[in-house]
Amino acid sequence: MAAIGGMTVRRSRRRGPALWILTLVLLGGLPEADAQARVGAHTEAKSAGVRGFVSAQDSPLVIVRDWSPGAAVVMALPAPASGDFLDDFVARVSDRALLAAIRERTIGRGVEVTLTRDGAARYFAATSLSEDAEGMFRDVDGVFRDLLPSRHVMAAAGAVRRDLEFRAGSPKMRFEAIFQALLHGRDPPEEASLPAAWADVNATAARILAKAPAAMWGPPARVVVLGARASSSSVGGDGEAAQRKEDPQGPGVRAPGRLVGDPGRRARTAGHMAPGGASPVGSGPPPTLPGAPPWLGRSPVPRGGVVGQTGVLGGLFGSPVFQEPVRTEIVREVVSAWVGLAYQLPPRTTLFQAHFLRLVLEGYLELHKDPFLYELASEIDAGGRLVFRFSVATEEIAAWESRLEEGISALRIPEESPSVGQLFRRARSLWSQRLSTPAGTGATAAQVLLRGGSGADATAVVRSLAELPAFSEVEAIAREIRLAVRVVYGAPPTPDARP
Amino acid sequence: MVSVGLALVGGAGGFFQEGAVRASVSPFDPLVPDSVLVLSDGPTLVTERAVGLPVLGIRVSAPLDPPWPGAARVLVDQALERSRPLADALGSALRGGLEAGRIVYHVTGDLRDADELAWIARRLAGPPVPDATREPLEREAQRMDALAETAQGRMIVELEGRLSPSYVEGTVPVTTFNDVRELWRRSFARDRIRVFVLGDIPMPLLLAELSRFGAPPVGEARYADPGISGSRKVGLADTPLYAWSAAVFSLGPSGDAAVLAAVEALKVGLRETSVPRATLRLHRASDGAPDWIGITARALRKRDADEALGAALALMTEEGLGPWWWEGVALARNGVVAQATTPDGWLTLADRYFSPEGGGWIRGALDRLESLRRRDLDPLLEVFRATLLHPRIDA
């Protein structure tokens, strides 16, 4: 405690980020040249209260935020590439065992561990105080490098199998199997129960136990997010001085407009959706269904209102806007239908732009929400597609399919849609909230790394909230967006769909 | 600029000349707010200048005084309903409810929407409107009926009833609009409100936006609780499928570090307790009575339910809870740390560990969790023995 000008000031006695980062560099050995700009200790990108340190090749990306009481270690593994249920089962068992192992390794350290999944990755986030980040990272990283304890794997295999058996046969699960197959360019599976291999818990466990997670799934994307303020005072005995060295403005300069960063920076460093020339599924010709089982209905064009909608849109813009792929329709008597739509984004789209577009469209659907919509989810998948899933009353399927397309149309001509400006604002707020926690920041940065982006790219995305994408950018993306997959499970029977 | 008197809290204390902003609790530790300003005839403003945080979070908190949880739920319900359209349009997160004996509202959104977020916060703390309150009143009546139909619900009804001096067993309060307005007038008196602000917002803007709202101040005067205006009898419905047994008790203030650890230890202990013919559940007994904890046992036969409850209560000794104590301490610390890393959680914890005299706050709670010893369990067990009740929740 110190008295400064009549104020009581308490200084933290915790270790600082500079020491921390140095440790990480030493852990990783000497930096080596790397095509992805992971070279050279401490390439620093600083703006908007966020600094990204990219250090040695084997080091995690360390993001230091001016203010944060907590730190997060985020390890992200890619989603299984096949989209196959068996691979998904193995991934779920492995994830559950990993989670248990991380919790066991970090018990007593004050670490909360969570697992989230989306279409692109599985994110393991360990959260603790900034001063405990170093130990937390060592523990979590160690779990990925070691073989998993067999008791965790066996327990996880049993639990996941019980869970899947309970849900097997549900409309949602059947819809998901078909949607995943089409998203991954495969034939839809037979409508049967679970593959027999699922029952073999021992074989699954043996596969997982054979290799450490980092060897089985490939090295995880590793991101550490920590706060500067809690830990700045221990470096050289003067926290403020140390902080000033990192931040020429000094910690006392806290203008509210500081969130707005260098306007040109994003353009120079933004990570792109499909790096390395990857050819995401769906960018080619529409998926075909050779040998599709007879229960799968197929219609070359959407039914009902969607036909007219597609035609109108094509006419408006002078070219067919939605080149409709085969619409996969599974006729089932269900209370609520499941609809899956995947749109291919232009390859130049950045991850930030893609998420922003997703949030804007989600907002459009929320705006037109009715009691017939039961569930709505959206994501950017590993193939760089904008994926929507919703559950609706069967009689409202056509209306909800076309509603999303109406939203895309509204973005193409924003001047004619007064709500678009408000939707931008809403999306901005939701994105800010995602980046407001260390775990959210870490998961977002890890997503960029997993897609092949560099540390600088990841830091740029984290700083992205300094600027909104311009209307014109979103408008251009919306104009080029293309429907890649459409699946409807539970459509009411119609004469053309009946066998 | 509003003319206000400011008091330094956490430093030397006392009043300073009007308009001066001198208060600073800790400018370095993010687990301790930067400043606490007690505004003359206005709210207490607790701020943390979070540089680089992309969002602004505001928590408005008022004491539940008089202790009328039903009226408070109606007050919160109508306030959220009136404010939700704007919050949704902004994409901001909005919530409200009863926490640790206080009525609270949270709004969190993009920092650049600060004006609107502050406006939503003021609107949330505004007076109830008769038209907007009609449906929430109906919903509360339905909620009480629904609670009275379930065994666990009856435990909550009984605990909330005991908060009022006019409580008659087997009745539930009937909340009217006048009760809701009276509760607002007392709880949301300007000088009783706490406003917590987390974000990179300059103090003058905060003072302009958040220094004057709520009901006229009441000063230090406190009211005697007249009891809610009406009540009605509810019958205990038969639960033919199951027999129940229940216990409610307190261990002390719900935010106390030792209590947090003991509750986590109890959860672990209950998971490890073998009661093959019954189901045990741990409940936070009620939003309105946050310091109470409930355990219910459900079985096909009353004897099995009683036995299971007995096994659960056997944990509430030094020998029973001791083996799980350290795991409980670790889990409690994990929970507090994880909560502190989110804006919403930080605001919640800052209110829970509000320490106008300094030295406490979230850092203090964590320090206390780290310094807990086995002997800290003993006073809790004494509180348990002194408060243990067996409410009749079965017909």
For B326-382, the pLDDT digits (tens) are 999 989 998 999 999 999 999 999 999 998 776 789 999 999 999 999 999 999 999
Measure the CA–CA gap between A461 and A454, rounded to whole angstroms.
Answer: 11
* Averaged pLDDT score across all residues of chain A: 70
Q: Return the residue in A10, A249, A444 with the most chain B beta carbons within 10 A, the one to mutate for interface testing.
A: A10
The share of chain A scoring above pLDDT 90, in percent, equals: 30
Q: What is the pLDDT of residue B286?
A: 66
Lowest mean pLDDT among A250-264, A333-347, B255-269: A250-264
Give the SS3 label for residue A389.
strand
Q: Please name the residues in contact with A20: beta carbons below 8 A apart, sequence gap of 6 or more.
A: A62, A133, A134, A226, A231
C-alpha B234/C-alpha B154 separation (Å) is 10
Identify how many contiguous H helices and E strands chain B contains and give both numbers: 12, 13
Looking at the complex, does the CB of residue A87 fall below 8 Å from at least one CB of chain B? no
To 10 degrees, the CA torsion angle through A393, A397, A400, A405? 170
Interface test with A, best of B28, B49, B347, B357 (most A CBs within 10 A): B28
In sequence order, the β-bridge partners of residue B297 are B245, B280
* DSSP assignment string, B338-395: HHHTSHHHHHHHHHHT--TTSS-HHHHHHHHHHT--GGGHHHHHHHHHHH-B------
Q: Does B113 touch chain A (CB under 8 A)?
A: yes
Least confident of A18-32, A444-458, B74-88, B315-329: A18-32
What confidence score (pLDDT) does residue A314 get? Answer: 25
Report pLDDT digits (tens) over A202-259: 888 999 999 999 999 999 999 999 987 544 332 222 333 333 333 333 222 222 222 1
Residue B266 pLDDT exceeds 80: yes
Q: What is the pLDDT of residue A279?
A: 28
Distance from CA of B347 to the nearest CA of A (A): 12
Give the residue with greater pLDDT, B158 vs B116: B116
| Closest approach of A466 to chain B, Cα-based (Å) | 9
Q: Is the pLDDT of residue A274 over 60?
A: no
Q: Is B93 on the interface with A (CB under 8 A)?
A: yes
The β-bridge relationship of strands A482-491 and A327-331 is parallel
* Candidates B25, B111, B337, B366, partner chain A, best to mutate (most A CBs within 10 A): B337
Please tell me if residue A319 touches chain B, with a CB cutoff of 8 Å.
no
Q: Give strand pairing partners of B231.
A: B173
pLDDT at A291: 29
Contact B112 A239 (CB under 8 A): no
- The predicted complex's ipTM stands at 0.85
Instruction: Record the tokens describing residue B82, joined without a space.
Output: 């009136």
Residue type at B157 in one-letter notation = V
pLDDT digit string (tens) for B272-303? 998 888 999 998 766 777 788 999 999 999 89
Q: What distance in Å separates the CA atoms of residue B387 and residue A255, rounded to the nearest whole number?
A: 52
Task: Give, for A126, the enclosing helix (H) or strand (E).
Answer: strand A121-129
- Distance, CA of A334 to CA of A170 (rounded, Å): 10
Interface residue B59 vs chain A (CB under 8 A): no
Determine the residue among A419, A432, A459, A465 to mutate to test chain B binding: the one whose Cβ has the most chain B Cβ atoms within 10 Å.
A432
More confident residue, A187 or A340: A340
* Distance, CA of B91 to chain centre: 25
Beta-carbon count within 10 A of A340 CB: 22
3-class SS string, chain B? CCCCCEEECCCCCCEECCCCCCCCCCCCCCCCCCEEEECCCCCEEEEEECCCCCEEEEEEEEECCCCCHHHHHHHHHHHHHHHHHHHHHHCCEEEEEEECCEEEEEEEEEHHHHHHHHHHHHHHCCCCCHHHHHHHHHHHHHHHHHHHCCHHHHHHHHHHHHCCCCCCCCEEEECCHHHHHHHHHHHCEHHHCEEEEEECCCHHHHHHHHCCCCECCCCCCCCCCCCCCEEEECCCCCCCCCEEEEEEEECCCCCCHHHHHHHHHHHHHHHHCCCCCEEEEEEECCCCCCCEEEEEEEECCHHHHHHHHHHHHCCCCHHHHHHHHHHHHHHHHHHHHHHHCCHHHHHHHHHHCCCCCCCCHHHHHHHHHHCCCHHHHHHHHHHHHHHCECCCCCC
Tens digit of each residue's pLDDT (9 = 90 or more) over B90-120: 999 999 999 988 999 999 999 999 999 999 9
- Strand, coil or helix: B210: helix
**CB distance B241 to B302 below 8 Å:** no
Q: Tokens representing A190? A: 């037979």
pLDDT average, residue stretch B132-157: 84
Question: Lowest-pLDDT range, A10-24, A264-278, B166-180, B320-334?
Answer: A264-278
Of A348, A342, A414, which is closest to residue A377 (Cα–Cα)?
A: A342
For position A419, what pLDDT does the model report?
A: 77
Beta-carbon contacts below 8 Å between A and B: 160
CB pair distance less than 8 Å for B28 and A12:
yes
**The pLDDT value given to residue B226:** 58
Task: Provide mean pLDDT across the span A281-302.
Answer: 29
Which chain A residues are within 8 Å of B28, Cβ to Cβ? 9-12, 229-230, 232-233, 239
| Nearest chain B Cα distance for residue A367, angstroms | 9
- Out of B49, B327, B334, whose CB is closest to A111? B334
Q: How far apart are CA A189 and CA A88, in angstroms?
A: 14
In whole angstroms, how far apart are CA A161 and each of A92, A205, B330?
A: 10, 12, 30
More confident residue, A46 or A484: A484
Question: What pTM was computed for the model?
Answer: 0.80
From CA B264, how far away is CA B247, in angstroms rounded? 18
Tokens for A105, please give them. Answer: 């390794």
Residues of chain B with pLDDT > 70, as a percent, come to 86
Angle at CA A128, nearest 5°, toward A127 and A131?
A: 140
Could you tell me if B246 and B78 are in contact, meaning their C-beta atoms sit under 8 angstroms apart? no
Which of helix, strand or coil describes residue A353? helix
Question: Angle, nearest 10°, between helix axes A133-145 and A85-106?
Answer: 140
